[in-house]
Amino acid sequence: MTVQLLERDAGTELFDVTPLQPSLGALVSGIDLSRPLDGLTRDALRAALLHYRVLFFRDQNLTREQHIALGAAFGELEVHPVFSLPDYPEILPLISQELAGKYRQTSDGNWHADTTFRAEPSAASILIQRVSPSLGGDTVFANAVAAYETLDDETKERIDGLTAIHDPQIFLQFLDTEEKREALRSQYPPVEHPVVRIHPETGEKVLYVNSVFTRRIVGLEESESRALLTRLFDQVKRPEFQVRWSWKPGSIAFWDNRATQHYAVPDYTDARHMERVTIIGDRPVGPSLKS
Ligand code: SIN
């Protein structure tokens, strides 16, 4: 089914939206993202993003300048503390060169929302594929609102007031001197976020722990924290909350980090080049702080 989201006065469609899975994800067509977005189109895309949580686009061969301009239409852009292009600091490159017949290990090949190690983690990310592996390298996205909603009542009650510690230690392996590692640790000390986040725009409750950046739950014994986190990480992995996206050069995914998690499937053996711009978000707030 194709949904026409909004129409201009003269009846011209802004773009078409085709839902891809019941839980999340939609393909957006009839739009050229290389052109500056007018306010109406930008607001309609923002509304579609809040509704579908991840939007996909094909054949958008944006220059880096156009990619940055697209992201900047939705908010201020982050500069990643470890990975950024020297001439385009707002662009995070994810470049995997060929591997001789072996599956790779990547830090994004685990379920996560982007940069939850920050006090103000990313609101949204826009990822474009530049080079496709011959086979594989899909990305899977999960609806973290549905993951929360389908927990049993006892677990929901238990986690609603909890907080967890997040840090960027996964990136230390990519820094080649102790000085750089120390700089990262001091710039991004461990930060405490609610385990259940209230989405700042939709008011929904979101499961907000992830297996890349979340270390432990505050106030619980280590073993209890580990058991609860494992249970919550597993909840995000349920296929009924997911959509899987197969890339081609020029494909784009635009996701809401406050409502989703994603997993870059590390099943490919040849080159895969991606570039991401990431929109700064706000400090997560949990249900216990809401009136
Ligand atoms: C990311 O985690 O932002 C990148 C996902 C991917 O490479 O598919």
Domain ranges, ordered by start, for the chain: 15-280
Within 10 angstroms of residue 75's Cβ, the number of other Cβ atoms is 16
Please indicate whether residue 275, judged by its CB atom, sits closer than 6 Å to ligand 1. no
What average pLDDT does range 81-96 have in this prediction? 92
What average pLDDT does range 18-26 have in this prediction? 98
Q: Of 86, 59, 167, 161, which is closest to residue 121 (Cα–Cα)?
A: 167
Task: Please give the distance, rounded to the nearest whole angstrom, from the Cα atom of residue 71 to the centre of ligand 1.
Answer: 16
pLDDT at 71 over 80: yes
Please indicate whether residue 92, judged by its CB atom, sits closer than 6 Å to ligand 1. no
Task: Please give the distance, rounded to the nearest whole angstrom, from the Cα atom of residue 269 to the centre of ligand 1.
Answer: 16
Q: What is the pLDDT of residues 141-156, one digit of tens each?
A: 999 999 999 999 999 9
Query: Which of 80, 108, 140, 278 maximizes ligand 1 atoms within 8 Å of its Cβ, making it the mutation to test the pocket?
Result: 108
> What percentage of the chain has pLDDT greater than the value 90?
82
Largest CA distance in the chain: 62
Task: Please give the distance, rounded to the nearest whole angstrom, from the Cα atom of residue 261 to the centre of ligand 1.
Answer: 10
Could you tell me the pLDDT band of residue 99, with boundaries at 50, 70 and 90?
low
pLDDT value, residue 96: 84
Q: What is the pLDDT of residues 274-290, one digit of tens each?
A: 999 999 999 999 996 54
**Could you tell me the pTM of the whole model?**
0.93
For the question of residue 193 being annotated catalytic, the response is: no
Residue nearest to atom 2 of ligand 1 (CA): 108
Could you tell me the pLDDT band of residue 1, with boundaries at 50, 70 and 90?
very low
Residue nearest to atom 7 of ligand 1 (CA): 264
Q: What is the pLDDT of residues 161-206, one digit of tens each?
A: 999 999 999 888 888 899 999 999 999 999 999 999 999 999 999 9
Atom of ligand 1 nearest to the CA of 112: 2
For the question of residue 273 being annotated catalytic, the response is: no
Q: How far is CA 147 from CA 112, 151, 196, 239, in A?
A: 13, 7, 11, 11
Residue nearest to atom 1 of ligand 1 (CA): 108
For the question of residue 276 being annotated catalytic, the response is: yes
Separation CA 127–CA 195 (nearest Å): 26
pLDDT at 102 over 80: no
Atom of ligand 1 nearest to the CA of 137: 8
Burial 83-115 (b: 16+ CB within 10 A, else e): eeeeebebbbebebeeeeeeebeebbbbbbbbb
Atom of ligand 1 nearest to the CA of 106: 7
**Cβ atoms of 269 and 98 closer than 8 Å:** yes
Residue nearest to atom 6 of ligand 1 (CA): 264
What average pLDDT does range 25-50 have in this prediction? 96
Atom of ligand 1 nearest to the CA of 108: 2
pLDDT at 101 over 70: no
Atom of ligand 1 nearest to the CA of 253: 8
- Architecture of the CATH domain 15-280: 4-Layer Sandwich (3.60)
CA dihedral 158, 191, 114, 55 (to 10 degrees): 50
For the question of residue 262 being annotated catalytic, the response is: yes
Catalytic residue (choose from 53, 80, 112, 197)? 112
Residue nearest to atom 8 of ligand 1 (CA): 264
Catalytic residue (choose from 46, 53, 258, 262)? 262
